[in-house]
Structure 1
């Protein structure tokens, strides 16, 4: 183990042990059972790992950093999600075709897309957003297309155009200004309009959409074809 890492570990384990069993040796872990990870005091791309009492100094893969919160891979999180709080790291990417860093999440293109690229060990794998969502490069995740109007057409993504008004006697009117509508041939989703743009909503687990109430219900309480589909 490097001397700098060893010195940092003395500080970390000493702080952890205060008020319990007193100071511990640098070669000891505070807990002897299970797996625990501790931040390096100087390096943001390194951390200390205790596995059943065995201590090791670990380095995050290229594109990942340690903050104790994320677990994109081996206790490390994507670099854009980590606040290093003054700890240092080498931002040099190790690039491969389709991947800036060995680990990362990237857009397929600058256009509206319902897929994105997830890189692991430098291998780009295209991932699908959930139905009705599009990739948002600002958050490195999927979002409602009406939150991406600078690149997306929500009507094209969802496949539905929200009406400017609804019949006051229709079930949809109950939810105005966020009217709801069924999805043709889909018993597990509905469409709700927000500021005139459609959003595809998925019912919870073991729930189906009731066209008469425009709500997600237990299949036993739905008197349509979705009753049998949900079971």
Structure 2
């Protein structure tokens, strides 16, 4: 077994900080920049983190080769452990025992993993996984202990295998799930200057939606709120009745009264002054004191 120890990283970090804080040499600055930056030094130190077979200290330490394996050290005793299938060990602190999703860690330096334990729709017992049908760009599975739950991305987004979340098609870069396949819309050709304004175009199939062409060539679908339509002349959302080609878009979906309420919501009546409840606690009523009467006075 071999541990990844961060002692070398800490020492090098201190040396770098000390050199940066020291007195600067007099005279003109050198023409050529330093060969290696501080960030590069830190990355190099992390890559060259000391590998040892002994417990550096009490705590939790990642395996040097396998991302979901780690060790607990207590009083010189080493206990080998595995994260649940589909999770990997997060070695951000020796004092924390934490297994995390692979999207949150870089396992390139220790790429090995335990043998998968697949289940229905779950390549591993835990995690987020793409739908089996590559055409189902916006659907994916969330698996916990081998039990799946299918999730659908909001309209216009696709599941991103690299991040485990729903993103725009051009960000996901998923084969067969690009903007052209998902939207069936092509941005009209424009010059570079106009493209930088991210022009908008009405959705030819749906009055409530429109496309924003990022840099003039990458479409992203967006929408107006309920009761509104995209005005392709003024390039903004407007109430549907004010957009001639979309005046009847909501017929059969919303009544005239509902559209009127959306456009002109009733104004809440102001509360009369002094009607706000007091925050002070009510005082308890005083108990009447019993008055003793002498027998002679009766």
Change in CA separation of 1:47 and 1:223 when aligned onto 2, cut-off 3 Å: farther
Tell me what 1:196 maps to: 217
Cα 1:61/1:191, change in 2 over 3 Å: same
Q: 1:224 aligns with which of 239, 243, 249?
A: 239
Structure 2 residue ranges without an equivalent (≥5): 4-53, 73-79, 241-258, 266-298
- Choose from 61, 64, 67 the match for 1:40: 61
TM-aligned CA distance change 1:85 to 1:154, over 3 Å: closer
Tell me which of 7, 11, 25 is aligned to 2:57.
11
Q: List runs of 5+ in structure 1 lacking aligned partners.
A: 14-38, 49-56, 167-172, 216-221
User: Do residues 60 (structure 1) and 60 (structure 2) align?
Assistant: no
Q: Identify the residue that residue 179 of structure 1 maps to in structure 2.
A: 199
Please provide the CA RMSD for this pair. 4.6
TM-score by length of 1: 0.52
Aligned residues: 171
Distance 2:178 2:111 in 1: 41
The question of whether the paired residues in 2 share the 8 Å contact of 1:105 and 1:118 is answered with: yes
Provide the secondary structure at the position in 2 that maps to 1:157.
helix
Contact 1:46–1:65 (8 Å) recurs in 2: no
Q: Deviations over 1:167-203 (max 9, x none)?
A: xxxxxx97666311345443xx642113534212468
Change in 2 beyond 3 A, CA 1:84/1:150: closer
| Mapped contact 2:213–2:219 kept (Cα < 8 A) | yes
Going by fraction, where is strand more abundant, 1 or 2? Answer: 1
* Residue 94 of structure 2 is aligned to residue 79 of structure 1: no
1:115 to 139, 145, 148: 139
| 8 Å CA contact 1:96, 1:102 repeated in 2 | yes
Cα gap change, 1:115 to 1:41, in 2 (>3 Å): closer
Corresponding residue for residue 148 of structure 2: 124
Per the TM alignment, residue 132 of structure 1 is displaced from its structure 2 partner at its CA by 0.8
Q: 1:47 to 1:160 in 2, by over 3 A?
A: farther
Larger Rg: 2
Deviation (angstroms), 1:140: 3.9
CA contact (8 A) 1:64 1:77 kept: yes
